[in-house]
Structure 1
Amino acid sequence: MRTATVIGTGLIGTSVALALTRRGVTVYLDDADTTAARTAEAMGAGSLRVPDGPVDLAVLAVPPAHIGTVLARAQRAQAARAYTDVASVKARPHREIQAAGADPSGFIGGHPLAGGERSGPLAARADLFEGRLWVLTPSERTGRAVLNRALELVSLCGGVPVVMDTGAHDRAVALTSHAPHLVSSLMAARLEHAAEDSVRVSGQGLRDVTRIAAGDPGLWRDILDANADAVADVLEAYAADLGEAVRALRALGSPDPEVRGRAEAGLAELLLRGNRGHARVAAKPGAPTADFAAVPVVIPDEPGALARLFAAVGETGVNIEDVRIEHAPEQPRGFVELLVDRNAAPDLSRLLSVGGWNVTADDTLTVNLR
């Protein structure tokens, strides 16, 4: 691939443009939001100049509801030889492509499973897609050359391609992304009018649960609208479980021992189901089954402390698989959990301790991923 046009310069579109530019592809930027487009250009993501002819690939980084019309307009202008998108919903755009008068043979749906709470070009990163799954959803009319061009895009961005049916994709992301975002928002909404004393004592659990609720409401409204039925199916089952949990909690105060026993058993089973479900979530997308261990370290609340910790780990040669940080602004220190290979964890704990770091436990917590 030598040339590409990215239509839409938000977080994902600009990240795609930065990744392609880094690999030597000439990238052209197009966005109705001229401020966002100029920002992306200033970041080195590409050029606002109009290409002289059709580019090798056009990436439609626009909301799901606009894929059909934007594709039809781009094809009428003969903007590219192949087209793909990065929307997180696939079935409805596929249906709307033909309704808009676009040619489905030149298009393949795409969805990189990457993002962040912040939106806009300033949040973009060239390495956003490295090691992340990138779903491709060809239709029965998608041409082989178009599929190959999309696979090249994924490779240039460092992603891992996965081919899925559009309906299967939408049901999957409803369960793993869209419904969780709405649940996070519902929990965060409980805090809007909560007493200040209650919010002040919030811990890492609340921050973990509500983190993704910080997403752009407009973007998420479009996503939920485009995948409404699949998300509703997930939340309907979730609501049934939630209702059972509420009834069990109320029953714990019953004077009848038999009623209390059934409630305790019901809650215990719900928590065990949660354990079993969590165990199916891999630490990295597409990663094989592996055993990791968490090495907990206390760090001072001072500039550069986290960078020094990572540098110290780097000197040991141990690869960090994931990081969890817990820190309250008013506290003089923070808490970091480094998720590493289980066999390397004891040596890492020892070497960090020798280096003056406060490793809070001699025995690391084993995390089994299967």
Structure 2
Amino acid sequence: MRSIAVVGTGLIGTSVALAARSRGLTTYLLDRSSLAVGAAVALNAGIAGPPPEPVDLAVIAVPPAQLATVLKEQQDRDLARCYTDVVSVKARTRLAAARAGCDLSRFVGGHPMAGSERSGPFAAAADLFQGRNWVLTPTASTDRQAIDLVLRLVALCGATPVLMEEEDHDRTVALTSHAPHLVASLLSARLESIGPATAQLIGQGLRDTTRIAGGSPGLWTDILGANAVAVAEILDGFAQDLGRALEALEQLGSEDPEHRRGGERVLGELLTRGVAGQDRIPPRRDGRAGTPSSRVSVPVANRPGDVERLFADVWSTGMHIVDLAVDHTPDAPVGRLDLIVDPEAAGDLASHLAKRGWAARR
């Protein structure tokens, strides 16, 4: 395999591109947003735009609801010999692709089990998949060449391939990823109106529990909707346990000793089950914990070179960019880049960019 194309330059797509570039592959980057592509190019993730001839493999790194449309579009333009994706829901997206008329014999469903609560190309890393599992869901009709190419991609990214049936995969990630994200978001929503005094008392336990709630609401609405039935089944059992916990707490607040003993018994049982479940989780790999950050917004014209010029001006300060958010409609003449930086650096960065002619604001 000598060349790939990555369609979608967010966290996962740009990380795949960086890994491929680090192993010497020629990598082409496509995205509806020219600003997102510009950001990935500035990170040296690849070449902007479609290749002059079909590449060996195309990686479709778009949200689940867009997969069928994008895959059909890229197959019609003959972007690559074979195709894979990285979406976290397999059965429903494959069905949509079949209905759209995609050639699924040259397509291997894929889902790298790696990510971050952060999003966008600036959260990407060439080693994001190192030592991680990468689920593949080929079928009996999948071309062997397509499987071989995707296995090579997984290997060069440093990941371990895991073959699964689509339905098994979707039920598994409902439990291990999708339902936990929704539960974390609902818990985090309890903090929406807290004051500074309460915020000062937040400890590491709550930070760990709610960390993943920082993901994109739009993307997660798409993901949860695509795997709604499996997630609902998990949350149904969770709701039953939560109901038992509420009853137990009410009993513990009673003046009746018998009620209190009943509440203690039920609550102890639920907590014991929690310990047993937590013991089944493998040791945690090293990760990057979330840190406080501030946002510097910069309007950027939709024309060649402007994104690269902005990044050159940013990097000339020596400041560290924690993350990047892109707000851009493909046909709009101007988009917006939000540069996420350490709070103490935001003011200096905005002033520096203003001196360079950018309409930056905090």
Same fold (TM over 0.5): yes
Greater alpha carbon shift after TM alignment, 88-97 vs 42-51: 42-51
Amino acid at match of 1:161: P
Displacement after TM superposition at 1:323 (Å)? 7.2
Partner of 1:145: 145
The C-alpha deviation readout for 1:292-332, integer Å capped at 9, x for no partner, is: xxxxxxxxxxxxxxxxxxxxxxxxxxxxx647989999xxx
Partner of 2:78: 78
Partner of 2:155: 155
Tell me the SS of whatever aligns to 2:109: strand
Q: How does 1:48-197 map to 2 (within 5 A)?
A: 48-197=48-197
Q: CA 1:17–1:323 in structure 2 vs 1: closer, same or farther (change >3 Å)?
A: closer
Contact 2:211 2:290 in 1 (8 A): no
Contact 1:204 1:326 in 2 (8 A): no
Q: CA 1:273–1:134 in structure 2 vs 1: closer, same or farther (change >3 Å)?
A: same
1:39 maps to 2:39 = yes
Displacement after TM superposition at 1:195 (Å)? 3.9
Tell me the SS of whatever aligns to 1:81: strand
Displacement after TM superposition at 1:268 (Å)? 0.7
Following the alignment from structure 1 to structure 2, what is the Cα–Cα distance between the partners of residues 266 and 83? Answer: 51
Amino acid at match of 1:67: L
Tell me the SS of whatever aligns to 1:193: coil
What is the aligned residue count?
293
Amino acid at match of 1:191: L
Following the alignment from structure 1 to structure 2, what is the Cα–Cα distance between the partners of residues 271 and 50? Answer: 54
Following the alignment from structure 2 to structure 1, what is the Cα–Cα distance between the partners of residues 17 and 290? Answer: 33
Contact 2:15 2:126 in 1 (8 A): yes
Amino acid at match of 2:89: V
Displacement after TM superposition at 1:48 (Å)? 1.1
Following the alignment from structure 2 to structure 1, what is the Cα–Cα distance between the partners of residues 289 and 47? Answer: 38
Q: How does 1:297-316 map to 2 (within 5 A)?
A: none
Identify unmatched segments of 5+ residues in structure 1.
285-320, 330-370
Amino acid at match of 1:48: A
Following the alignment from structure 1 to structure 2, what is the Cα–Cα distance between the partners of residues 239 and 135? Answer: 29
How large is the Cα RMSD of the aligned pairs? 1.8
Higher relative contact order at CA 8 Å, sep ≥6: structure 1 or structure 2?
2
Following the alignment from structure 1 to structure 2, what is the Cα–Cα distance between the partners of residues 21 and 326? Answer: 27
The C-alpha deviation readout for 1:118-161, integer Å capped at 9, x for no partner, is: 11111110000000110001123211111111111100100111
Partner of 1:16: 16
Identify unmatched segments of 5+ residues in structure 2.
294-362
Following the alignment from structure 1 to structure 2, what is the Cα–Cα distance between the partners of residues 326 and 31? Answer: 27
Amino acid at match of 2:123: A
Partner of 2:200: 200
Kindly report structure 1 stretches of 4+ aligned residues shifted beyond 6 Å: 323-329
Following the alignment from structure 2 to structure 1, what is the Cα–Cα distance between the partners of residues 126 and 231? Answer: 31
Partner of 2:327: none
Following the alignment from structure 1 to structure 2, what is the Cα–Cα distance between the partners of residues 221 and 137? Answer: 23
Contact 2:50 2:79 in 1 (8 A): no
Displacement after TM superposition at 1:194 (Å)? 2.6
Contact 1:111 1:136 in 2 (8 A): yes
TM-score, scaled relative to structure 2: 0.78
TM-score, scaled relative to structure 1: 0.76
Identity across aligned pairs (percent)? 56
Displacement after TM superposition at 1:261 (Å)? 1.1
Tell me the SS of whatever aligns to 1:151: helix
Amino acid at match of 2:227: N
Following the alignment from structure 2 to structure 1, what is the Cα–Cα distance between the partners of residues 291 and 16? Answer: 32
Partner of 1:316: none
Q: How does 1:284-295 map to 2 (within 5 A)?
A: 284=284
Amino acid at match of 1:162: V
Following the alignment from structure 2 to structure 1, what is the Cα–Cα distance between the partners of residues 10 and 29? Answer: 11
Following the alignment from structure 1 to structure 2, what is the Cα–Cα distance between the partners of residues 225 and 188? Answer: 20
